[in-house]
Amino acid sequence: MPLAKPALIFDLDGTLTDSKPGIVGCLRQVLDARNMGDQGPLERFVGPPVEEWTTELLPHGSDEARAELAREYRACYAREGWMNNSVFPGVRAMLNQLQEAGFQLFVCTSKQQHFAVRILDLFELSSLFTAIYGDKAEYASHGKADLLASLLGDYSLSPATTWMIGDRIYDIQAAHSNRIRCLAAAWGYGPSEECAQADAIAASPQDVPAFVRHSLVASQPTSSNPVRFPS
């Protein structure tokens, strides 16, 4: 009896697209307009939900103050930031290979869903995915683990045959919270110490198809050390 092919759930920012210029550019505009001073390297805000970094930037602010900061950022992002973006080299070919091989592909991102769809439509990638899950303002929780849980439940995906593929610790934690494994996208924004917490590491998009083929025949893993592709 053939083994079931795993479902592959991709993060967006830092995994499929290089969105850092648009995100950091809008953050800098908003912070400068508010005269909030030097907040250190802004790259750390690429990945987590907006609601998380507004709390860091306004630790003593009210919920409304944080919500207003988020609105200002999203207005900039809707106006110009989302277009300041590009597909990582090798990603399009990777996705085409995986789809042609019969893998079920999804996106799960902390970015608001309408932005995620707009970006994937811009790059003509949306049709490759069974579903695109992103955050929505009306959700009670903005955590990635809860969003991933919704996706897994809605599509009845088995934890034993599902992988999350992402570049940051938020992807790894969300995957493990839902009892699925995570393949770290080492070409993205996550530092090596974050990638080391994943179940396996892919150095480039070109390595992902070989990895998932290997995962079909590999024993249900994993050792305490992540597998690296290429080895």
Residues marked as catalytic: 11
Write out the DSSP string of 25-49.
Answer: HHHHHHHHHTT----S-GGGGSSS-
Distance (Å) of CA 74 to CA 3, 25, 54, 91, 225:
43, 12, 12, 26, 39
> Are 186 and 201 spatial neighbours (Cβ–Cβ below 8 Å)?
yes
**What is the gyration radius of the CA atoms in the chain, in angstroms?**
18
> Are 157 and 175 spatial neighbours (Cβ–Cβ below 8 Å)?
no
Calculated CA dihedral for residues 140, 18, 197, 112, nearest 10 degrees: 10
| Residues 180, 145, 194: CA angle, nearest 5 degrees | 70
Residues 6+ apart with CB under 8 A from 35: none
Place of tokens 């893993």: 221
Distance (Å) of CA 218 to CA 103, 129, 168:
17, 25, 25
Note the residue count of the chain: 231
